[in-house]
Chains A and B, each alone.
Chain A
Amino acid sequence: MIRALPIVSFCFLVLGGVYLAGSLELPMGSAARPGAGLFPFLVGIALVALSSPLFIRSLRLKEPQEERTEPFPSGGDRHRVMAVGATLCFFVVFLKPLGYMICSFVLMGATLRLLGLRSWAKIVLTSIFTAAISYYLFFSILGVPLPPGIFSF
């Protein structure tokens, strides 16, 4: 099983390192006239300094000792979380080309199904209803310029 804490602390370490390197490319100024790079430089150092010991310690720790972390789901539960994540990605990627109505219909339908609603009729009806009402509320009443997508005629 993949252990998450070493991976996450390593990500923090890499992020801190890359950020620190980026800050060095900014003007640092002097102590009396600090430049745009000083604060990110200090934050970068802090991130590296904090994540290094966490990473090293997480490697030493045996799995059950991992600082009271919650186990990641497996099997069907994991698939459900991944499917909800994928639905969100679908919404964001296809919002512009397909438009809000279709994307919100898919998002709603998928969430209802994934989180336990079994009747397809109820899923389809609720999703159509939610998509239409929310479009009317956000676009027509609140004036949010939601992309019309394929309905742009």
Chain B
Amino acid sequence: MIVNMDALQGLALGFGVAFSGPNLLACFLGVLVGTIVGVLPGIGPIGAMALLIPSTFALGPTTALIMLAGIYYGSMYGGSTTTILVNVPGEAASVVTAIDGYQMARKGRAGAALAVSAVGSFVAGTLGIVALMFFAPLLAELALEFGPPEYFALTLMGLILLSRLGGGSAVKSFLMVGLGLLLGTVGMEPISGLPRFTLGQLELGQGVELVPVAMGLYGIGEVLMIAERITGISQMIKVKFRELFPTVAEWKRAFPPMLRGGGVGFFIGLIPGPAAILSTFASYALEKKISKHPEEFGKGAIEGVAGPESANNSATAGAMVPLLALGVPFAPATAMLLGALIIHGVQPGPLLMTQQPEIFWGVVASMYIGNVVLLILNLPLVGVFASILRLPQHLLMGLILLLCLVGTYSVNNSFLDLYILIGMGGVGYFLRKLKFDMAPLILALVLGPMLEKTLRQSLFMMRGDVWAICVRPIAGTLLLIALLSIVLPPVIHLIKRK
């Protein structure tokens, strides 16, 4: 039995780890930065994590993961602030909140919308962590049965599903996967030590680092997009502290959507895809469908804020399950977390919980603490965070550029990494204009080495018999899902056209 301590014992260990001084500070900093990047449109959690990975090198892996995970779920809280007050979604996962949140603000209920959003995030986030605590060990136990063929199939399925779910052109998404896999093969080949595609550069032998690629695509690329048009921010609705209390009727209407949103979000988080974003749409659709007042949706229905804002938070907890239990990220942001763990010399997988329980349980416990901190930060200080938007754009962009450059340089003190950063910034800008999704590239870069290793191990194990991989029950099922996700959409499209 893998779970040699039960969840409560594990959690007790986790709180012991999370309450240590450096980890508490890391948790606080993580959720604070998360809230800030959530508030700021344009800078997402992936970019923020990329910016901060270099600063975690001096920290232990647990502390680093606590901080980076804090940015991930913290950004979901902050995203709603600007959405409700200014109608500018700070995060893609808050776009749905804009529909009813801003309408509530226009009706003078901005405070109630913000409060419901923060409390919903807290309730669903906490429920999500409880579910994570029980689901992850179960999944890890199941994953102990996995051999290289199952891991190969799982990784391949994750990559394909993620590329298909991101929206937009499938070909473009698969090309980004290809580019990520290509970059992942640069450097010393792990089995024979043979240099591949290093162009004679000794430094490239170590491979293409995740940090310059992610910072280039998300940091520099974004600044170049913003440089195109200098825009001001629209008028912000001011909220007083005493207005932050929803009425009893509003609470009654908001609480069930919070719970439903929590459930929807968590289960969507378990599936490969941009979980936080998808969960908000699913929750909104569900609330509208079952509401007694569907006509109010779009005109300031509180359920339209409570449901999606809860869903995106519990989706982040759900998305942590495959990462911590299988060592396979199913979302771009958790791919960054995996990248950070690998940089710190930790190999996540089903054995993480038994071999390094302090990491797993420490992170889980820190998420409980982080959610409380976020609630405290986001309710009374909502005005302070919203005022971050008043920071001049030119100053903010200059600081981001500087952070990208110094952050990248600090990884290996390498000038080559800086050139990769600039190159990826340019690539990110051009491809973004042509509606290529950046997330598949990051995922493929992180998962590429794992995909190659498990493919080669599987072929070796099966003596080169590819069919033998396909007929293994779990691997076969996963490969079938991957295949169907490629074949079915065009077939359905064709049938619909007829």
Chain B residue at smallest Cβ distance from A45: B178
- By a beta-carbon cutoff of 8 Å, the part of chain A in contact with chain B is 4-5, 8, 12, 15-16, 19, 22, 26-27, 30-36, 38-40, 43-44, 46-47, 50-51, 53-54, 67-73, 77, 80-81, 84-85, 88-89, 91-92, 95-96, 100, 104, 107-108, 111-112, 114-117, 126, 130, 134, 138, 142, 144-146
Q: How far is the CB of B59 from chain A (nearest CB, A)?
A: 12
Docked complex Cα distance between A85 and B220 (Å): 9
Docked complex Cα distance between A115 and B400 (Å): 13
Chain B 430-458 per-residue mask, 1 if CB under 8 angstroms from chain A, else 0: 11111100000000000000011001100
Q: How far is the CB of A15 from chain B (nearest CB, A)?
A: 7
Docked complex Cα distance between A131 and B57 (Å): 23
Docked complex Cα distance between A115 and B434 (Å): 23
B residues 409-439 near A (Cβ < 8 Å) are: 409-410, 413, 415, 418-419, 421-422, 425-426, 429-435
Q: What's the A-B contact tally at a CB cutoff of 8 Å? A: 173
The answer to whether B169 touches A67 (Cβ under 8 A) is yes
Docked complex Cα distance between A17 and B42 (Å): 35
Contact of B435 among A47, A68, A116 (CB under 8 A): A68
Residues of B within 8 A of A112 (CB): 394-395, 398
Residues of B within 8 A of A73 (CB): 228-229
Residues of A within 8 A of B142 (CB): none
Q: How far is the CB of B233 from chain A (nearest CB, A)?
A: 13
Docked complex Cα distance between A38 and B178 (Å): 15
Residues of A within 8 A of B409 (CB): 95, 144, 146
With A107-B402, A138-B410 in contact, do A51 and B230 touch (Cβ < 8 Å)?
no
Contact of A115 among B181, B227, B426, B455 (CB under 8 A): B227
Chain B residue at smallest Cβ distance from A30: B464
Chain A residue at smallest Cβ distance from B188: A36
The answer to whether B434 touches A108 (Cβ under 8 A) is no
Known: A15-B179, A43-B181. 12 other contacts (CB 8 A): A27-B192, A31-B466, A34-B459, A36-B194, A40-B182, A69-B434, A69-B435, A71-B433, A84-B401, A95-B415, A115-B397, A144-B406
Residues of B within 8 A of A40 (CB): 182, 185, 196-197
Residues of B within 8 A of A81 (CB): 224, 227-228, 429
The answer to whether B410 touches A92 (Cβ under 8 A) is no
The answer to whether B224 touches A107 (Cβ under 8 A) is no
Q: How far is the CB of B253 from chain A (nearest CB, A)?
A: 38
Q: How far is the CB of A119 from chain B (nearest CB, A)?
A: 11
Docked complex Cα distance between A44 and B182 (Å): 8
The answer to whether A89 touches B455 (Cβ under 8 A) is no
Contact of B464 among A32, A77, A91, A144 (CB under 8 A): A32
Docked complex Cα distance between A96 and B175 (Å): 35
The answer to whether A4 touches B401 (Cβ under 8 A) is no
Chain A residue at smallest Cβ distance from B413: A145
The answer to whether B230 touches A116 (Cβ under 8 A) is yes
Does B241 belong to the interface (CB within 8 Å)? no
Q: How far is the CB of A133 from chain B (nearest CB, A)?
A: 10
Docked complex Cα distance between A104 and B404 (Å): 12
Q: How far is the CB of A89 from chain B (nearest CB, A)?
A: 6
The answer to whether A32 touches B405 (Cβ under 8 A) is no
The answer to whether A84 touches B223 (Cβ under 8 A) is yes
B residues 22-69 near A (Cβ < 8 Å) are: 55, 58
Residues of B within 8 A of A126 (CB): 395
The answer to whether B228 touches A96 (Cβ under 8 A) is no
The answer to whether A111 touches B401 (Cβ under 8 A) is yes
Main secondary structure of the interface of A (DSSP, over half): helix
The answer to whether B435 touches A80 (Cβ under 8 A) is no
Residues of B within 8 A of A47 (CB): 175, 178-179, 182
The answer to whether B422 touches A31 (Cβ under 8 A) is no
Contact of B455 among A34, A100, A108 (CB under 8 A): A34
Residues of A within 8 A of B252 (CB): none
Which 10 residue pairs spanning A and B have beta carbons closest together?
A: A31-B464, A32-B464, A115-B394, A111-B398, A39-B452, A36-B189, A47-B178, A144-B410, A92-B418, A32-B463
Docked complex Cα distance between A7 and B227 (Å): 23
Docked complex Cα distance between A109 and B10 (Å): 51
Docked complex Cα distance between A95 and B416 (Å): 12
Contact of A50 among B175, B402, B415 (CB under 8 A): B175
Q: How far is the CB of A88 from chain B (nearest CB, A)?
A: 5
Q: How far is the CB of B404 from chain A (nearest CB, A)?
A: 9
The answer to whether B429 touches A134 (Cβ under 8 A) is no
With A8-B431, A22-B197 in contact, do A146 and B406 touch (Cβ < 8 Å)?
yes
Q: How far is the CB of A3 from chain B (nearest CB, A)?
A: 10
Docked complex Cα distance between A30 and B58 (Å): 43
Does B21 belong to the interface (CB within 8 Å)? no
The answer to whether B456 touches A96 (Cβ under 8 A) is no
Docked complex Cα distance between A115 and B401 (Å): 13
Docked complex Cα distance between A84 and B418 (Å): 15
The answer to whether A46 touches B178 (Cβ under 8 A) is yes
Docked complex Cα distance between A71 and B228 (Å): 11
Docked complex Cα distance between A111 and B220 (Å): 12
The answer to whether B196 touches A36 (Cβ under 8 A) is yes
Residues of B within 8 A of A134 (CB): 402, 406
Q: How far is the CB of B186 from chain A (nearest CB, A)?
A: 9
Chain A residue at smallest Cβ distance from B190: A36
Residues of B within 8 A of A12 (CB): 175, 178-179
17 interchain pairs, CB-CB under 8 A:
A4-B430, A12-B175, A31-B459, A31-B466, A39-B452, A50-B174, A70-B433, A70-B435, A88-B405, A89-B422, A91-B405, A100-B406, A104-B402, A107-B398, A115-B226, A117-B392, A117-B394
